[in-house]
Structure 1
Amino acid sequence: MSVRSLFSRASVETPVSLTSDGLRHAILDDFEATGINWIWASDADGVLSYLSPAAAEALDMPLASLLGQPISALFETDPDDPDGSVRTFNFQLKAKNRIGDVVVRCALPEARTGRPVWLSLSGHPKIDSTGRFHGYRGAAKDVSVEYQRKIEDSRLAEYDSLTGLYNRHRMSRRLESLLAAYKSAKRSCALMMLDLDRFKQVNDTMGHPAGDALLQQVAERLRNIIGDRGEIGRLGGDEFQVILPDIDDRGKLGEIAEKVIQIVSQPYPIDDKRAIIGTSVGVAIAPYDGIEPDELVRASDLALYAAKNGGRGQFRFYSADLKDEEEERQLLLDDLREALAQEELQLHYQPVVRIADNMVVGMEALMRWEHEERGFVPPGTFIPVAEESSLIGPLGEWALHRACTDAMEWPGTVRVAVNVSARQFTANGFVDVVEGALQASGIDPDRLELELTESVFMGDSEATDATFAALKKLGVRLALDDFGTGYSSLSYLRSAPFDKLKVDKSFVDTCTQKDQNSAKIITAIIGLSKALGMETTVEGVEAFDQLAVVRERGGELVQGWIYSKALPQPVVLANISSGEFRIEPSGPDKHRQDRRSMFRRIGVIHGDHRYDAVIRDLSKNGAFIEGLVGVPKGTALVLDLGGGQLAVCEVARSEGAQIGVEFEQALVSDGAGGLCTRHRVSPYALAAAGMPLTSLGHGGAPPMQQSSSPPLFMQVQVGTGGG
């Protein structure tokens, strides 16, 4: 159909004020030819009946292939259009409403191969005096340049320019819209917060361009890990966020978090150097840990701070008892600074024993802090805080001096090992600090062993090599700690002058399990060490079955609880007063995985009764409980572990007020060295039971109805000193 015939038909129903139809048609033809606007029309069935030939040329499509196509199938809107036209275009067509400047592109497959051509469509419904719909008459124009610019501007407003990930604004909007939709649909959504450990050192030692390159590589690794399971954003600096819709299984989330930590912590090639960082991850899950976006973000932030305070390179799930970790961190640093000034810190020493004759050949210095209000503060809590501040320098210097001084009271055959952080090692004057400790104590340099990790190789390789050379010139020994847990250790052994490798405890923990390769890895590390003329110390040996594996695999030096925990200096001196330092191994025959002793009150649910009891031992597969009498073997129970955690179990043994239960579904790691259930009671279920819709907090199972039947078991009081 030509434009003349199109508008000739229109003129039958619409009065024409022009002097002649011929002039009117000529003007329309000229108008089409200018390309300023084109004309289109559809029939009553929504089929395209006319389109300006120039429009077909712009679309690079034959006009014949466009005419006769349904408008709704011929054109598509941009699903990411910020103006929401994707939701209105088809609705307007069906409703026969006016269409105003809707941006579309041709939806036919053959039109999607070249550059996208975007058209702005406007149209009016043609309705006669009887109310009958005859189709649309409208105009179209090419807005490709303007729309592409709009897309780019929108992209810049929502994407991080460095990494290409979503930015904070986009992630906030996305989380808000998801949680609003999921609340009505009663769906879950997990939020991961992570930041990079030691990233500041990369910027300081390698420069900001290296830091930018590292962030780009981190973003790419996160994309590979998360895939299409979620959305990733960079919030700024070294902070990242991951939204994971429809995942509330803490087992799966823990696996994802561990994979993120493992992959992100691999070394990064930047120019001709390597950067080594780590990451910590905090996880919160809606609706359990928060219903609203600000609740969930705060919960994941608190979990992240807990992970960082726990020693870094870890993940944490949010729990309601987490404090404001940022404020707590500063208070801890203030207390630590005062403890150092007041000489309240101590060094305890864990023996390194020669298996052949059980003789102590070395002692590792481990820092201990007993605070008058906090009680015992684990090194994994306060050392990372010191490393982030200027306090690590004086703290490390104090430890070196004290360890060397204490070692002078031991036999001359016993060495002392002192841990050195990467920040200490790369600080100006570190070699002078070591030399000062040697001179002040008078210890033989060969008796001082500095334990380093792979992180010391981050940054300036020439400066690192110079520090190694200077330390060896002093005559001290160097040990590579946590060997086998990194990703490029072998490359370091080619040039770094190490005297010892320390096999990480993680391999020892699983060396007796048949489905693990840990024993083979221990064998390989020991063989490598001997081939390079180095010693090997195997850490973390606690049971005789582990000791047997280490001995069979060629291990000669062992450090672990089977010989001794870390001891204060007075106890060490008392042990060596006989003239020799020998320790006989003592411990369990077999190593038990993930068994934790505790004293915690829980609920035990049977039928429609809830009893109070005490849990004493907890493992992934079962628990030891006290406080109920008369529970037969085989009884099905539900343990209320708090925070919405319900564990279905069966009584495997029963004696007096003590029962042992086996879980129907194994517990999973909570990232903090503890265990938790995979799933929790949903706040939606609690709301359905009559409770207000809110995050779990300290809540647990739904309130139980009052029972008319008597309880089957007798509940007894259990004290902290019980069996």
Structure 2
Amino acid sequence: MKESSAIKESEERLQFLAHHDPLTKLPNRLLFSARLEHALQHAHRQNELVAVMFLDLDNFKQINDGLGHPVGDKVLQKVARRLSAIMRDEDTVARMGGDEFALVLGDISDSMGASQVASKVLSVFEAPLEIDHHRLYVTSTLGISLYPSDGENVATLLKNAHTAMYHAKEEGKNQFCFYTDDLNSEALEKLNLENDLREALNNDEFEVYYQPQYELSSGRLTGAEALIRWNHKELGLVPPDEFIPMAESNGLIIPIGRWIMKQACSQVKTWQEAGFDIDRIGVNVAGQQIQNSDIVETVKDVLKETKLEPACLELEITESFIMQQAEKAISTLEELRKIGVALAIDDFGTGYSSLSYLKRLPIDRLKIDRSFIKDIPYDSDGVAITKAIIALGKSMQLNVIAEGIETDEQHDFLTEKGCDEVQGYLYSRPLNAQEIEEIFQKEN
């Protein structure tokens, strides 16, 4: 009798493990699909609606990377408990994997009912999570699909809810979005573009353009910022703001970033050998290149391959990334500095960096973000912030460059306040290598 009871308990345990997530004890993808299928059959007989919600935690990776996976696991467990607490008995909350959850809501009258539940779900994240002496503020983003209008089977409804969730992420996170047919066509376009992006490097579709940088006091061309352009074989010129975020999300920014760096360094070496006087080339480095690749070895390899002097390469790192992982960023920047390359903080003024960190950064230049420049001298906030950054740079013996200069008034203001260098359409749009050479020839 005891043996048969033990066997039964073992079978029940195995059955539970097969259908539930071991960390959160929520239904897993397999059980979720079975329950959704059951809900669809019931809704079909009763002529009712079913809502499928796909939920993703915002910036969860930062918790795992910054505080470790044990803390991340506890976050998932607490989130699971909070979600379960607000659901009806007949609804299902499941963990689909990673930081993704899904919900099935049966017997809803219309989309308004789904909206109310979605708002309720978002509200459970308003209170911080207290974990291991850490107070964590976590938000989530939801996508919603409805049976039968958005699909009549499990796979389609789940895919469409997932598509809606990604759209909500792009619109700013911490919100929900209903699926529409337009989202599907957008998702398909993005998928095709991403596939083309993977082939673009091999097909030689990228080109580097250079925006000149000028010394304000003398008007001399001192350097340039390297900017990538994608000449798509069918679509023509694809704007960087369309494909760079995509490259950052799928990891392609690492090989693309290396390619830009090598092309730019090689070009500057060619100019120098031709007798053109250029101090440096600025190359943007994405946060992912520092986080997920050996950027120090990459820089060493590129300089060795192109035979460019390290001081002629300036790496531009955004202030917001530095502040996300300040200690790691400082360590990496110090290693890069030992190589001899110049370092600049890009978009300075937008990342809320503290002066204590700024003093520790081994940097050469501050680059004032164009958002502060665009309405100078008529925007009092822009004027005040720009003056403060220039004064800060001078007090720390840092070179200050302003970007996005488009008017004579902006030029005059920056000259008066003692800004060191400038770039923008007032002086020159981004140019290809041949056009830059023409500028050098005129100067000579």
TM-score category, normalised to shorter length: 0.5 to 0.7
1:536 aligns with 2:400: yes
Distance 1:308 1:569, change over 3 A: farther
| Shift in Å, 1:464 | 3.8
1:332 aligns with 2:196: no
Match of 2:296? 431
Match of 1:503? 368
| Shift in Å, 1:500 | 0.9
Match of 1:606? none
Distance 1:546 1:333, change over 3 A: same
Match of 1:484? 349
Distance 1:347 1:300, change over 3 A: farther
Match of 1:524? 388
Match of 2:247? 386
Contact 1:305 1:326 in 2 (8 A): no
SS of the equivalent of 2:351 reads coil
**1:663-678 equivalence runs, <5 A:** none
2: CA distance, partners of 1:499 / 1:437: 21
Q: Choose which of 184, 208, 211 in structure 2 pairs with 1:350.
A: 211
| Shift in Å, 1:345 | 0.8
Match of 2:439? 575
2: CA distance, partners of 1:508 / 1:336: 33
* TM-score, length-scaled by structure 2: 0.65
| Shift in Å, 1:271 | 8.8
Contact 1:281 1:303 in 2 (8 A): no
**1:189-228 equivalence runs, <5 A:** 196-197=58-59, 199-200=60-61, 202-204=63-65, 206-211=67-72
| Shift in Å, 1:434 | 0.3
Distance 1:213 1:161, change over 3 A: closer
SS of the equivalent of 1:577 reads helix
Q: Deviations over 1:21-40 (max 9, x none)?
A: xxxxxxxxxxxxxxxxxxxx
1:545 aligns with 2:406: no
1: CA distance, partners of 2:96 / 2:62: 20
2: CA distance, partners of 1:539 / 1:559: 5
1:365 aligns with 2:226: yes
Identity of aligned residues (%): 37
SS of the equivalent of 1:446 reads helix
2: CA distance, partners of 1:511 / 1:269: 44
Q: Which structure has more strand as a fraction of its residues?
A: 1
Gaps in structure 2 of 5+ consecutive residues: 1-22, 26-31, 37-52, 81-94, 103-110, 116-125
Match of 2:257? 396
2: CA distance, partners of 1:315 / 1:281: 5
2: CA distance, partners of 1:525 / 1:271: 38
- Equivalenced residue count is 366
* TM-score, length-scaled by structure 1: 0.42
Distance 1:238 1:440, change over 3 A: same
2: CA distance, partners of 1:527 / 1:213: 45
Match of 2:309? 444
| Shift in Å, 1:545 | 3.0
Distance 1:338 1:494, change over 3 A: same
Match of 1:566? 430
Q: Deviations over 1:198-223 (max 9, x none)?
A: x436525652234467889999xxxx
Contact 1:193 1:281 in 2 (8 A): yes
Q: Deviations over 1:295-354 (max 9, x none)?
A: 9998886566457679x8899999874444544444323211211112221111111222
Q: Deviations over 1:232-257 (max 9, x none)?
A: xx99855699xx989x9xxxxxxxxx
Contact 2:372 2:383 in 1 (8 A): yes
Q: Deviations over 1:179-200 (max 9, x none)?
A: xxxxxxxxxxxx9987535x43
2: CA distance, partners of 1:278 / 1:455: 19
2: CA distance, partners of 1:270 / 1:534: 41
Gaps in structure 1 of 5+ consecutive residues: 1-159, 163-168, 174-190, 220-233, 249-262, 581-723
SS of the equivalent of 1:416 reads strand
Distance 1:340 1:539, change over 3 A: same
2: CA distance, partners of 1:548 / 1:314: 42
Higher relative contact order structure (alpha carbons within 8 Å, sequence separation ≥ 6): 2
